[in-house]
Chain A
Amino acid sequence: MHKVKVYITLKEGVLDPQGKAVQNSLHALEYDNVADVRVGKYMEVLLNDEGNLDAQVDEMCDRLLANPVIEDYSYMIEEVS
């Protein structure tokens, strides 16, 4: 069995109003060196070992987990017992 750690981030150039709100709050807490914040998503998917896992995860991300119009994704696959 493998655990897939999927990171979804907004594409560069796509405005992130939520990230901007978080950035403003960090400034309110006087973290003046915060230059930018982008809010994304993190998911863990457990997969039984069947077939090509990389190809499957790519397909899952393209079809559902990320929206390719506005989001990029990356992932790491780890073996779990």
Chain B
Amino acid sequence: MKFAVLVFPGSNCDRDMYFAVKDSLGEEAELVWYQDDVDLTDYDALLLPGGFSYGDYLRSGAIASTSGILRQIIKAADEGKPVLGVCNGFQVLLEAGLLPGAMLPNRDLKFMCHFEELVVENNQSMFTRQYAPNERISLPIAHGDGNYFCDEATYERLQANQQIAFTYAANPNGSVGDIAGILNEQGNVLGMMPHPERAVEQLLGNEDGLRLFQSIVTYWRDHYAINA
């Protein structure tokens, strides 16, 4: 399986994501600069890494969401390809309208960088099928604008469609409904503030994040790679 890691000016978790896929997961990965003349249909899954694209100018993720490569990402998402946005990647997906809601500064205005306990709310998605229902996992967070906001009607829709993938066991940032990660309606786009790519081997603390990437691979093999 071939993963593209999209790199924007100011991305800084792109290499973590790249090595998580290449070394820990053992699949193909390529770093793709946002201005490169690439055809994203050559990749089986798209990863939008964390960082501070364009220095968070205007709003986190807002400027990157207008770049030309987003049109290809939106097309891939519409076609059902797995698209994962972590941290700033999540913010880009929100600003691009691929996921509902918006990010606000953390409730306490602090940049937070530590492990958080998460609850796997939906273990049926292509990103979470390797987790047990309501499993508690621990992943690092590292964000200043991770306070997820949406109106009540949107929150009810997220709940009704099982679009809430992860919640925080002890909400660190003020997010609506303790939300840490959400899926789109089709279930092939996941945005999350915690960093699974930073928890892929014991040396990094734990391997809880690795199963997210393994979920994508097993899903893909089940659906597309008949001969694999």
Contact = CB atoms under 8 A, between A and B. Distances in A.
A15 B107 CA distance: 8
A17 B62 contact: no
Contact of B109 (A18, A64, A69, A70): A18
A14 B104 contact: yes
A21 B107 CA distance: 11
A67 interface: yes
B150 A69 contact: yes
Nearest to B110: A17
Nearest to A65: B58
B-side interface size class: 10 to 19
Nearest to A21: B109
A65 B195 CA distance: 28
Contact of B59 (A14, A21, A67): A67
Contacts of B100: 69
Contacts of A64: 58, 62, 66
B101 A17 contact: no
* Interface residue SS majority, chain B: loop
A-side interface size class: 10 to 19
A33 B75 CA distance: 53
Q: Which of A14, A17, A64, A69 has the most CB of B within 10 A?
A: A69
Contact of B102 (A15, A18, A21, A67): A67
Q: Which 6 pairs across A and B sit closest by C-beta, in order of nearness?
A: A69-B102, A70-B102, A17-B109, A67-B102, A17-B105, A70-B149
Contacts, number: 32
Interface of B: 58-59, 62, 66, 95, 100-102, 104-109, 149-151, 174
A75 B103 CA distance: 24
Given A64-B62, A69-B149, A70-B149, A17 B102 contact: no
Interface in A25-81: 64-65, 67, 69-70
Contacts of B101: 69
Contacts of A69: 100-102, 149-151
30 contacts: A14-B104, A14-B149, A15-B104, A15-B107, A15-B174, A17-B104, A17-B105, A17-B106, A17-B107, A17-B108, A17-B109, A17-B174, A18-B105, A18-B109, A64-B58, A64-B66, A65-B58, A67-B59, A67-B62, A67-B95, A67-B102, A69-B100, A69-B101, A69-B102, A69-B149, A69-B150, A69-B151, A70-B102, A70-B104, A70-B149
Given A14-B149, A18-B105, 19 more contacts: A14-B104, A15-B104, A15-B174, A17-B104, A17-B107, A17-B108, A17-B109, A18-B109, A21-B109, A64-B58, A64-B66, A65-B58, A67-B59, A69-B100, A69-B102, A69-B149, A69-B151, A70-B102, A70-B149
